[in-house]
Amino acid sequence: MAQADGLKAALCALAAHPEPVMLDAAAVQRVDTAALQLLAAFIRDRRLAGRAVRWQAPSAALAGAARLLGMGPMLQLDGAGR
């Protein structure tokens, strides 16, 4: 939970960043629904504001979790990590 709070703070700081944001997720080994939910909101908010988010080598754990939760498309992770 503390980590989810930390993630939220980190994402909030990036939310209004004018340049496309690159998320480096190569080292993600475990991920939970709370974290994916934050990422989903982050990506959606940025898209609505016309700002891009890109993934840098998302790990299989991340992509797998997104797929299990049916969140691949909204996280722009579809097709990755299969």
Partner 1 sequence: MTVDLTQFHDAFFEESFEALDAMEAALLKLDVGAPEPELINTIFRVAHSIKGGSATFGFSEIASLTHSLETLLDELRSGTMPVSPEVSELLLRSVDVLRAMLRAVQASQPIDAQRVSDLQFDLEVVIARRNAPPPATAATDTAATACAAQDSSPRWQVRFRPYREMIARGNDPLRLFRELGELAEVHVQVDAQTLPPLEDIQPQDCHLAWTLEVAGRICEQEIRQVFDWAEGDCELSIQPISAEPPESAPAPSTASNPAPPASRPAGAPPAAGAAARSEPPAKPESTLAVLGDSGSIRVSVEKIDELMNTVGELVITQAMLSQLGGRFDGPQAEQLRAGLAQLERNMRELQESVMRVRMLPISFVFSRFPRMVRDLAHRLGKQIELKLTGEQTELDKTVLEKIGDPLVHLVRNCIDHGIEPPEKRLAAGKSAAGTVHLDASHRGGNIAVQVSDDGGGLDKTRILAKARDRGLVGPNDALSDPQIYELIFLPGFSTVEKTTDLSGRGVGMDVVRRNVKELGGKIEVESEAGRGARFTITLPLTLAIVDGQSVAVGTETYIVPLISIVESLQLKHTQVSRLSGQGEVFSFRGDYLPIIRMHALFGVEPRTRVLHEGLVVVAEGDGRRIGLFVDDLLGQQQVVIKSLQANYGHIDGVSGATILGDGSVALILDVPGLIRIASMRAAA
Q: Residues interacting with partner 1, by CB under 8 A?
A: 1-5, 7-8, 11-12, 15, 28, 30-38, 40-42, 44-45, 65, 67-71, 73-74, 78
Q: Which is nearer to partner 1, 19 or 45 (CB)?
A: 45
Q: How far apart are CA 61 and CA 67, in angstroms?
A: 10
List the one residue out of 3, 9, 11, 5 whose CA is nearest residue 51: 11
Taken as a whole, the chain contains a residue count of 82
Nearest distance in Å: CB 50, partner 1: 15
Nearer to partner 1, 36 or 80 (CB): 36
